[in-house]
Amino acid sequence: NTIYTIRKFLGNGSFGYAYSAMSKNLVTGEEREVVLKEFYPFNDFHREGEDYKAVANDYTRFNIAVEKEKFRNEAERMRRLGNTPNSHIVPVEGFFEREKTDTMYYVMPFYRLGSLEDLQKSGTIFTEDLLLKSIIKPLCTALHIAHKSNVLHLDIKPENILLDKNKKSMKLVDFGLSNAYMHGNLLTTACGSPCYASPEMISGKAYDGFFSDLWSCGVVLYC
């Protein structure tokens, strides 16, 4: 009952493109701006045909079926965690697949003020009140809720921290590298952004992701 019209390209990570789009509810007529994230590992896919179908390259490094399942898991984690009251995690509001492009998308709210990285670049003066109450405390709350649900984020950095319309709080986004942490003993070798990654993440050896998320949180505070 909803159609989406893409307005502009916002950016991309290794496994997805993000677009701003207009969402129109065909029942109520309500329109609003949202963000669409598309599964598209651009280094390993190319667009093909008049429908721009996403097709794996011959040299792709990934099992595409496995990566698509990870994308579904990312969307499900954000839907579940983001809809937990006061979680400070961006919620996924919808998920769909499109046959023509042979890929999938999930829908998130649009945050006009952008990310903490954008705020840093704007020359904003970070008072202690703004930094601790509006950024670090909500970030710790988001991580606490994720970790209680046995989810590691693994890519904490300013560009993955979005600001609400009043700069009163933040929302954690992009669970693309997130991993399930079962029974307190699952170790991982995933590494997010090196500037914010803990020493054990950079080492390439297995590590405990709970502590690595907290390290990255500390680096954000330092920055």
Task: Please pick, among 155, 164, 174, 213, the residue that the annotation labels catalytic.
Answer: 155
Closest CA to 7 of 26, 41, 43, 31: 31
Structural contact between residues 44 and 14, judged by C-beta atoms closer than 8 angstroms: no
3-state secondary structure at position 148: helix
Q: Is the distance from CB of 97 to CB of 104 less than 8 angstroms?
A: yes
Instruction: Examine the residue annotation and report whether 155 is marked as an active-site residue of this protein.
Output: yes
Tell the burial category of 22 from Cβ atoms under 10 Å away from its Cβ (0-12, 13-18, 19+).
middle
For 65, other C-beta atoms within 10 Å of its C-beta total: 7
Q: Which two tokens stand for residue 119?
A: 């705020």
Active site residues: 155
